[in-house]
Amino acid sequence: MDSPGPLVLLTLFAVPVLVVAYQLWSWRRCERRIRRWADENGYAIVRLGRWRAGGGPLSLAKNWRITVQDDEGGWRTGTVCFGYWLIDVPWGRMVVEWD
């Protein structure tokens, strides 16, 4: 039986590495967009974290939970939705849904 060629081995290694790198890059890009949106709307971010609504660790949706404080001292908590992996993220629309 022949061993796999170097191109096959490189592909088996490179594809997962590229997928993980893209995922990390898109999360950072989304976080920067959220922080810019908060600054533009006069919110101070109190808590920000990724959130998977029932999708488990391999969820394709890019959702974030956010808690902000406005200029008057009021607090709001909600979800920031970007869409699905490779479709809307990180360039597409950003939707904020308050609880």
* Sequence spans of domains, the chain: 6-98
Is pTM, for the whole model, over 0.85? Answer: no
User: Which residue numbers in the chain have pLDDT < 50?
Assistant: none
Give me the residue label for tokens 């920067």.
Answer: 32
pLDDT, position 47: 95
pLDDT, position 89: 54
49-71: per-residue pLDDT in tens? 887 665 555 555 678 899 999 99
Distance between CA atoms of residues 9 and 3, nearest Å = 10
Distance between CA atoms of residues 99 and 30, nearest Å = 20
